[in-house]
Structure formats: C-alpha cells, structure tokens
Amino acid sequence: MKIADYLQRIGYAGTLDPTLETLIALQRAHLFAIPYENLDIHRGGTLSLDIETIFDKLVTQKRGGWCYEMNSLLAWALGELGFDVTLLSSDVVSEMSGDGAGGDHLVLMVELDRPYLVDVGFGNGLLDPIPLEPGTYTQRFLTFHLLNEGDRWYFQNHPYGGSGFVFTLQPRTIEHFTARCHYLQTSPESGFVRTTVCHRFTQDGIVTLRGATLRRITEAGVSDEIVDNPATYEQVLNRLFDLRLSGVTSLWEKVWARHQIWLRETT
C-alpha cells in the first residue's frame, strides 16, 4: 500500500503537512472521488475489515465502499501522513439514544489544535471535518447539529440525509466492528442486505442511487427519478458514480425485482 497511490486515486496534489487545511482538503477529495456503495453485498461478495483488502478494492480496483471501508482507508492515509487519528464506534439512530458501542458506524477523531470529527463513510453526511464541540454547522446548503450529553455525542444529519449517529470518545480498534460488519452484510433484517445504495458528493450537492431510485440533492431541492432498465442503470453507475462493474445485468434484475415488491407494498 502506497500513500502516493491513494493520493492519486483521490486526485489530491496539495500540501501533506498534518494541518487542518490538509485534513479538510483530503476529506473533500476523498468524498468527490470515491463513492459510498454496498453493491458487493448484492453481488455475492464479502466486505472485509482488512486494510490491505480495502486498499485494493477502493484504490487499485477504483471501487467505492461503506463506512468500515471508507473510514478505514482514510484513517490509514491520515496516519501515514502524520495525523493523530482515533477510531470511534457509533450507533445509527434518529435521536440521542444508545451508547454508541454497537458499532453500526465507524467514525474518526483527529487531534489538531482541538479534536475534530472526521467522516467519509456516512454516504450523505459531512463534506468537511467539524470541531468536536456542540453546535450547528453549515456546509454549502446543508446544516448539521452536534449535541453532547455526558459522555455521549449525537451527530444529527442534514434534513435530506435521514438518521444521525450516537458515539462516545472511547478509542476502538478495527476488531471492535467485526461482529457488526458481519451482521450488517448477512442478516435479512439489515437494510444493507435489503437494498443497494450508492452516494456521491458532487460540485452542487449529493447524488444517491437507492435501489432503482435516483435522487439528486441540490440547493434547489430534491428530485427523484426511477431507473427502469439495465442499460440506464449501468450508465448511471458509470457516469454518476464512476463505477464500472461486471455482471450489472444480474445486479439490475435483483434491484428491479425488489423495486416491484416495494411498489406493491406501498400502493
């Protein structure tokens, strides 16, 4: 694993000093270049916590990943560049509940002049790091909130993004997430098993492909359209998410079958 290959993957050619300026630039570059996606769960693959496997997938193969992959890769890169990085565990919730120990979501804390919450793995969450201080944070047209209650912190996502997550500052190793990583990609109760999802930040907002529904979020609002054939589905993956996969037709058939079930259940 070479840091130069990662930097080339995200298109970053700026300063490498371990400063806030560099951290902001790296997080943005990562999010613009590497999409969030869980497609291998639906293609018969296994998502690993091994950093060499993650590096090969996201950097060498130019794929995307989910939180364990995305934030693990960034944590490794930041460590290589001399940043002080801590892995934190969180629970994905709609309000401040739970203790964060469940490991639904891996997030990062980076120590600079003060601690910062860093996250490239929530899909449609933060674009930039934020100070680990309670408050309201606005990034472009999106507003986030960070709340604190005792040793628990709650990140409230922007209104278009759905749930947030509860976490504590207890340092974790990647092994802490082993059981939850397995559950979320194998259990029929897991949303990751039930639905394919891709997110990617764009220059004017966020684009999401959840099942067969393509959503664009911009300052003008939200627009949805249904991707109703395999050729268009493959074009969307290629053009909007920079994903070029084998076996797209087989994946599409699963996506479309689930979309039909969803239609029957909601009409």
pLDDT tens-place string over residues 12-26? 999 999 999 999 999
| Res 214 pLDDT > 90 | yes
Q: What are phi and psi of 90, to 5 degrees?
A: -145, 165
**In which region does residue 247 sit, left (phi positive, over 0), alpha (psi from -120 to 50) or beta (all else)?**
left
How sure is the predictor about 247, in pLDDT bands with cuts at 50, 70 and 90? very high
Question: What is the predicted pLDDT for the residue at 44?
Answer: 93
CA nearest neighbour of 173 among 103, 125, 74, 257: 103
d(Cα 185, Cα 129) in Å, to the nearest integer?
27
CA nearest neighbour of 120 among 41, 36, 63: 36
Rounded (10°) CA dihedral 210, 215, 221, 223: -130
Q: Which of 30, 67, 198, 199 is catalytic?
A: 67
Q: Is 105 a catalytic residue?
A: yes
Averaged confidence pLDDT in the chain: 96
Q: Which of 30, 40, 119, 199 is catalytic?
A: 119
| Count of Cβ atoms closer than 10 Å to residue 136 Cβ | 9
Question: What is the predicted pLDDT for the residue at 252?
Answer: 95
pTM for the predicted model, two decimal places:
0.96
| Count of Cβ atoms closer than 10 Å to residue 237 Cβ | 22
Q: Which of 30, 42, 105, 199 is catalytic?
A: 105
d(Cα 220, Cα 234) in Å, to the nearest integer?
27
d(Cα 243, Cα 261) in Å, to the nearest integer?
26
**Would you give the end-to-end CA distance of the chain in angstroms?**
50
Q: What is the pLDDT of residues 107-156, one digit of tens each?
A: 999 999 999 999 999 999 999 999 999 999 999 999 999 999 999 999 99
C-alpha 45: how far from its chain's center? 18
Q: Is 67 a catalytic residue?
A: yes
Q: Is 119 a catalytic residue?
A: yes
How sure is the predictor about 162, in pLDDT bands with cuts at 50, 70 and 90? confident
How sure is the predictor about 30, in pLDDT bands with cuts at 50, 70 and 90? very high
Which carries the bigger pLDDT value, residue 161 or residue 112? Answer: 112
Over pLDDT 90: what percentage of the chain?
94
Question: What is the predicted pLDDT for the residue at 98?
Answer: 85
CATH fold of 190-266: Arylamine N-acetyltransferase fold (3.30.2140)
